[in-house]
Each structure stands twice: as C-alpha cells, then as structure tokens.
Amino acid sequence: MSKTMTREASKDFVRDAHGEILPIIENFYSYCAEGKLMGIKCVGCGQIMCPPRAICRNCLSDKYEWVELKERGKLVTYTIIYFPPTQFQLLAPYAVGISKLDDGPHLPGMIKNVKLEEITIGMPLRVDYETVIPKDWPRWARYFFKPA
Ligand SMILES: [Zn+2]
C-alpha cells in the first residue's frame, strides 16, 4: 500500500495508520467506482450516514463501520437547475433532489432518465453510477438517481 494519500479516482482507498478505510468523501466515491453505495454506521448508536461523516451527528461518536446500503429510496424534495455551474452547463435544465434511502439517510443527487415534468415527490428512485469519470478534479465516479 502506498504511504501517500491519493485523490485519483481509483480503487486505492485513503486509510488510517491501521489500514482502516477512512469515513471521507473520497472513499465514498471510490466505492461508487466499484458500483457500491456505502454509508457509515455509527458503532455507538447505529445511525447510518451517507455520504459518510467522521463524527456521528446523533451521538458524536467517532467509532464507525462501513455498510453497504440498498440503492433504493424515495424522492423527498427536488429542484430544477436552469443556470448550473460551468461543468454542468451542457446538462441544463436538469433536476437535483434529495432521496430518503430505504436504509434511512437522506442523499442528495442528480435525477436522470426521466422527463423533468414527470418527477414527483415520493416517487421511488434507484441509485446508479456514471460510467464516465470527469477529466477535471475531482476525478470521482459519480452516482445519480433514476426512477426505480
Ligand atoms: Zn452515533
């Protein structure tokens, strides 16, 4: 294992001195590159967080384990983006929303593979993964939501 941390999108995870995969966003996206939706489960209280957080928002514990989450949820809220940041300009207009995953966490993300006028609150969504990794930093494999 390399001693240097990497920000490249790859199967190299950023680990602590004991080899544990750290609960940070780079590692979350490295799992996405493997087609896995992973969250952090607090060992103290069982709260599941996705994207991962180093400290439990519920009990402030820093003891955690990675858990694979079901890629299913329901749309809680969404908005249509007409004037996006530069890197997403070709996609506009597009929808971003927050899905309440079946496993509990609320995950924000882009909603694709559906006409914008057919998006409804409460609709069942599935997490899927982009196959193209952006050329510019951050070179992360991204996830998105699509109708289940
Ligand atoms: Zn906790």
Residue 32's identity, in one-letter code, is C
What is the spatial distance between Cα 2 and Cα 8, in angstroms, rounded to a whole number?
Answer: 13
Token pair of 65, please?
């384990």
The top-level CATH class assigned to 72-147 is mainly beta
Instruction: Calculate what percentage of the chain has a pLDDT beyond 90.
Output: 72
Token pair of 145, please?
């939501």
pLDDT of 91 above 60: yes
Q: Model-level pTM greater than 0.75?
A: yes
The neighbouring-strand residues paired with 100 are 74, 106
**pLDDT, tens digit (0-9, with 9 covering 90-100), for 30-43:** 999 899 999 999 99
pLDDT of 77 above 90: yes
What is the spatial distance between Cα 52 and Cα 27, in angstroms, rounded to a whole number?
Answer: 9
CA of 27 to the centre of ligand 1 (A): 20
pLDDT of 1 above 80: no
Q: What is the mean pLDDT of residues 20-25?
A: 93
What is the spatial distance between Cα 76 and Cα 145, in angstroms, rounded to a whole number?
Answer: 12
Token pair of 122, please?
């409460």
Domain ranges of the chain: 72-147
CA of 53 to the centre of ligand 1 (A): 11
CA of 43 to the centre of ligand 1 (A): 7
